[in-house]
Amino acid sequence: MNWQADWGLRLRMFLTMFLLFALYIVFAGVLTAYIGGGIFLFGLMFGGMSLVQYYFSDTLTLRSMGAKRVSADDYPELHASIERLSQQADLPKPKVAVIDSSVPNAFATGRNQRNAAVCVTTGLMRTLDRDELDGVLAHELAHVKNRDMMVMTIASFLSTIAFMIVRWGMFFGGGHNRGRQGGGGIVVAILVSLVVWIVSYLLIRALSRYREYAADRGAAAITGNPSALASALMKISGQIDRVPKEDMREEAEMNAFFIIPIKSGIVGRLFSTHPPMEKRVEQLRQLERGMTAS
């Protein structure tokens, strides 16, 4: 496996993480000034809940999506492909799960490389040929290898706290209205939380898009066949456009996990967790040309 670094992509991810870190430092400082020690208790409580959710992320995610773990007896070819690709990626074989859904898609979950799961839909297996399915599975394994679940959980932690403060700000701050800052301090904290949530929302989605590019590159390195993943992306995108709207709504909440996000109009595309399919395909074609030239 030729796992080459894309330093331009790494730089963009680093800058995005740096901006998030700087934003959260300012956020913590403002909340400490206007709310005081209460924010730390809130953070510890929410942090504990997030830690439990993260620790059991594979089980919780599969259960929430209605996915079922399957054995090698049930899906021998799927298991064989994931085992082979895991060896090529130098990863432990993840758990394998299947969703009975006409939406052709796949996702990976799990807190680390030894506690991961890869899930595909029955619609995906019907849509793709073997090489294309290998490309999609390798993309999900690249997410596991890059520890994307951990990265995105860390990146979104304080953003979620900001959202909770905005949503329940008055309840959270009710006991502090008699303090030195009064109700005005709570209003400032809520407004700052709103700004932090909006800005971090955009930054986290940018980071997610960069990590999708990285997973595409990882899949090309694992399989040595970028064109197969490019073909799979085009097939999946075309099939999703024809999926009934009822099925689309059932899957829409898991967009961030999927290899192709479910489209939800211009706003959904503007704030998408995934890059445009056309740009992903072009990157894969460039990788293919590079491999052919070398």
Q: Is 190 helix (H, G, I), strand (E, B) or coil?
A: helix
Q: Give the pair of three-digit tokens for residue 278.
A: 């056309």
φ, ψ of residue 185 to 5 degrees: the values are -65, -40
pLDDT, tens digit (0-9, with 9 covering 90-100), for 48-62:
777 777 788 888 889
Q: Please indicate whether residue 132 is annotated as part of the active site.
A: no
Which positions ≥6 away from 160 have C-beta within 8 Å?
46, 50
Residue 40 pLDDT > 70, yes or no?
no
Q: In this predicted structure, which of 14-18, 132-136, 151-155 has the lowest mean pLDDT?
A: 151-155
pLDDT, tens digit (0-9, with 9 covering 90-100), for 221-254:
999 999 999 999 999 988 655 555 444 344 444 4
Distance CA 138, CA 80 (A): 13
Percent pLDDT > 90 in the chain is 40
Residue 257 pLDDT > 60, yes or no?
no
Which positions ≥6 away from 154 have C-beta within 8 Å?
none
Phi-psi region of 145 (alpha: psi -120 to 50; beta: other; left: phi over 0): alpha
Across 95-109, 169-183, 239-253, 256-270, the highest mean pLDDT is recorded for 95-109
pLDDT of residue 5: 64
The pTM score is 0.81
**Rounded to a whole number, what is the distance in angstroms from the first to the last CA of the chain?**
15
Q: Which of 140, 212, 251, 288 is catalytic?
A: 140
∠ Cα 211 243 202 (to 5°): 30
- Per-domain residue ranges of the chain: 7-293
Distance CA 166, CA 179 (A): 20
- DSSP for 214-283, please give it: HHHHHHHHHHS-HHHHHHHHHHHHHHHTTS-HHHHHHHGGGGGGSSSPPP-HHHHHHT-SS--HHHHHHH
pLDDT of residue 253: 44
Which positions ≥6 away from 269 have C-beta within 8 Å?
263, 276
Nearest alpha-carbon partner for 273 in 214, 201, 217: 201
Distance CA 128, CA 123 (A): 9
pLDDT of residue 83: 98
